[in-house]
Structure 1
Amino acid sequence: MELLYERGEVEQILAAYKDIFPLIGAPLANYWGLGRERPWSYVTTDFHRTTYEQLKLLHDRTRVIDAMGLATKEKGAALRDASSECGVGFSMGICPWTDHLLLKTYSPEKDSLTILLGHDWYPIVVESRTRSDSPLRNGDALHYTPKYMPAAPQAIFDGSTIGLFLNLYPDYRPPGDGKCGSLRNYGISYEECLDGLDAIIEAVSSRFQTVRIISWGANVWSAMRDRVRDVAPQALMAHAKGMPGDILAFESSGKEIPYLPIAHPSHPGNFYRGAHLDHVRRGFEAMGLGLPAGSTIG
């Protein structure tokens, strides 16, 4: 049986979003695609305007579409239409993992925020999956994805820092597209994505005393590297080998944000042995976040 968020949990998640982002200005709205002007900008929801009833309606519509046996492109179009008609995206806010992390880690008195920055949220239709995203599905989460957990510090799981999961590219990929690789002509450039990241950092920096970024994967590192002070233009794994555990300074709107680039956890071997695991361990500890989640290394 599918596990769904209850009304009280939805209200708790929406309240966390509103506390972190009391205003969604034009830069954030444009980055998150809340105007639905880009072809597949349907992950996100305006959490200041949504209701439980809208989210439940999209969930129900989505499960009906899943049962229809549509071809991939047809299904993608049907899901997009349902999202438009219900007035919400396929998460309560930024993306399903962010929703769940806020439920598990947020409380208003905390002043530490750790951003986990991935690349993108897969295609809107993944051909190997029978269930599409739903804004109420309590099952798509970092906490439920064991092979990805070591790419996050234990401090996120024990709640000593608030975890905010973001994707640099905020939209879905087109239905049936590949799950990985750099962006092509998807309607938003890496430069625009970095502008959006700046808007997020500006917003959270006024709320939290400490803000850190941990990025996952080579594509995100390549996009961010030019904004990092005193670092050679190397590939990610070469950088990690040459500067193991070093905390970098990501320049954002006049601020220098502590930043650690690591491999993407879809290649889990990097997080259980060798030089890259040493880089991750040293980096998390230097950020004051403890060991990688699930680590048994003393």
Structure 2
Amino acid sequence: MIAPTSAPTGFSLVQAAAAAAAHQNFPPATLYMVATPIGNLADFSLRAIHVLALVDAIACEDTRVSAGLLRHLGVDKPLLALHEHNESSAAPRVLERLGRGERVAYVSDAGTPAISDPGAALCAQAQAAGFRVMPLPGASSGVTLLSAAGDAHAATQGLGFSFVGFLPAKGASRQAQLEAALQRSGSVLLLEAPHRIEDLAQRLADTAPQRRVTLGRELTKQFEQIHTLLAVDLPAWLGADAQRLKGEFTQAIHAEAPPDVADAPPAVPDTALHVLRVLLAELPLKQAVSLATQITGVARNPLYQAALQLREAPEAPAP
């Protein structure tokens, strides 16, 4: 839920939006697919606000959620309920309005419509009927997280990314679709609800333990959290703090590194290697790596790989 903020006295968002966007072309008999913020109202574009103030009606996923958003904007429009359970049957009412030359907007509860939210069937029916569909870009949790995931080698290798969204809630199909997603080239974007995040984390740890995962929690909101770690470490990280299990989750499962990246020696500074050697001489490998991470600040994974190499390397002969 987006927390509204108070606008300065005498300031109208609708007036500011009109000043910025009214000179642009907004044709009649058009369906406007309008992206809404995913948690931070300040991410709403002025063009989107202007369109919501301009259209004749707004179709929406949940009229209660959209009514609250429109009240904050100072916009009053007829609302048409169009969600995943009635999209096909409700779409003809929108087409009737378009046929009368009206402008109609569609918004989901948060984010870009028709991606992981309703709107695709409405869009397809409008296009099939010969009406124009105009998208207004905005927030999308998957792209938002991907921009902070730093999966650079996927882009340079031409692998790109796949948006999967929500997996089935349970059963064999959940595991089957997860395994199929992990077979795709490039990064994979998943969404998950808080009551299923632990299950997904454990499945990732069991199925692809060495894949890097960037987890985004409550993106754009006050308590936003973004953390990158190996899938094998994800269940323990989530379980270490009850707050980490709250909110909405987006996960970027990084592309598997190409052979030249996977086989490259870890980039560990000499000082960190010295600390690691001293600790390995006295402690078990995992404990030595954990302490070396705390002492040197070097990430756990490269230290772990370096520790394996040090353990396997033959000891130097005594002078």
**Structure label with greater radius of gyration:** 2
The structure richer in helix per residue is 2
Question: TM-score, normalization: structure 2?
Answer: 0.27
Higher RCO, Cα 8 Å, sep 6+: 1
Question: TM-score, normalization: structure 1?
Answer: 0.28
